[in-house]
Amino acid sequence: MGKISVSDDFQQFCKNLRMSDSVVSNVQSRYHSITKRINQDFWNSDSETRHSLYVGSYGRGTAIYTSDIDIVVELPWDIFSKYDNYSYNGQSALLQAVKNSLMKTYSSSYINADGQVVDIAFSDGVKFEVVPAFKFSNNCGYYYPDTHDGGSWKSMNPKSEIDIFNGRNLITNGNLKRLCRMIRAWNAHNNVFMPGVLIDTLAYKFMQDYEHSDKSYMYYDWMSRDFFQYLTDVSGQDYWLKPGSNQRVYDKYGFEKEAKEAHIKCIKALDYCSKGYNYLWNDEWREIYGNKFPTT
């Protein structure tokens, strides 16, 4: 037995969840290469930064070391007109055109085009999901292709989602994004299969009214306990509205059982902390969050 530092353990845990500097460097390099390739083939430009945007968890700042990298690449409107005029599934043809473009740069990588994205799987385990899109004239979002059911165009506003997420994160002293990363670790360790966008949506809504939302790492054991209780309470809903765009976010698999189990383990960990049981404290959190949580 001995003194347990909640703050030190959770601060180290949050650090352990981040991508290494070398991975971040590779991500940035590949982002620039992908952007340049698209600009060369669709915009007659060599720019490595124009017409592209990080989206998804990486764009919102909630990614962990296992996360995919989602990016939007903007294409000219005449390209939209070309594929919109197809008699059947021009969206699939568009994805194939983007895939063929990217294969010029990444001929040795596995590239697949399906659904709404072009996937590039790199040998080091990092995967990019590239979404070709067409920016609205008012700059308030994009059309993007969906190849399912014969093809259609969907709309999104990732910039608005990122902006409102960053605003809430600032208000909560950085705790919103750290909570999202922690729940991603729980999700992966326990095979919950919650989509990342659902994790971020529910964490955002929880933090809107949480009484300790702006507190220090010292409150992260309570925050964990209270968020898993929140997940249990809201698990019966059909869908939730994504902050910033109000698009519906659905859950296909359910998470009530796993959230209840995690909540019980949090209560046990808090009891071990009050008694100074170091090993049991750390072991309980590692059962919840995985081996990125520090040992004694």
**Pairwise CA distance, residues 158 & 140, whole Å:** 9
Q: Is residue 294 part of a domain?
A: no
- Say whether pLDDT at 2 is over 70: no
Residues 247 and 269 in one domain: yes
Same domain, 194 and 118: no
What residues make up the domain containing 184? 6-16+161-289
Among 157, 184, 214, identify where a domain stops: 157
Domain count, the chain: 2
Q: Mean pLDDT, to the nearest integer, of 126-150?
A: 94
β-pair type (69-74, 52-55): antiparallel
pLDDT of res. 140: 84
- Domain CATH number, residue 147: 3.30.460.10
Q: Are 263 and 228 in contact (CB under 8 A)?
A: yes
Q: Are residue 87 and residue 127 in the same domain, yes or no?
A: yes
The CA distance from 107 to 216, in Å, is 47
> Would you say residue 113 lies in a domain?
yes
Let me know if residue 191 belongs to a domain.
Answer: yes
* The length of the chain, given as a count of residues: 296
- CA-nearest of 50, 68, 195, 74 to 131 is 74
Q: What is the pLDDT of residue 279?
A: 87
Q: What is the per-residue pLDDT across 259-294, written as a single tens digit (0 to 9) for each?
A: 999 999 999 999 999 888 888 999 999 999 999 999
- 199 belongs to a structural domain: yes
- pLDDT tens for 187-234 read 999 999 999 999 999 999 999 999 999 999 999 999 999 999 999 999
What pLDDT is recorded for position 296?
Answer: 76
Q: Say whether both 125 and 147 belong to one domain.
A: yes
Residues 217 and 23: their CA atoms lie apart, in Å, by: 26
pLDDT at 156 over 60: yes
- Give domain status of residue 296, yes or no: no
Do 173 and 277 fall into the same domain? yes
Q: Is 60 exceeded by the pLDDT of residue 1?
A: no
pLDDT value at residue 11: 98
Q: Looking at residues 98-106, what average pLDDT do you find?
A: 97
CA 180 from centre of chain = 8
Which of 157, 174, 206 is where one domain is finished?
157
| Residue 247 forms part of a structural domain | yes
Torsion of CA 12, 203, 285, 260, to 10 degrees: 180
Q: What is the mean pLDDT of the segment spanning 235-259?
A: 93
| Domain co-membership, 26 together with 151 | yes
Angle between helices 278-289 and 175-189 (to 10 degrees): 80
Residues 152, 182 within the same domain: no
User: Does the residue 295 lie in any domain?
Assistant: no
| Residues above pLDDT 70, as percent of the chain | 99
**Do 181 and 85 belong to one domain?**
no
Which of these three, 108, 140, 157, is where a domain ends? 157
Over the stretch 158-186, which tens digit does the pLDDT of each residue have? 999 999 999 999 999 999 999 999 999 99
Same-domain check for residues 131 and 193: no
Strand partners, 112: 119
Q: Please check whether residue 131 lies inside any domain of the structure.
A: yes
Say yes or no: 54 and 98 in one domain.
yes
The answer to whether residues 151 and 234 belong to one domain is: no
Residues 139 and 191 in one domain: no
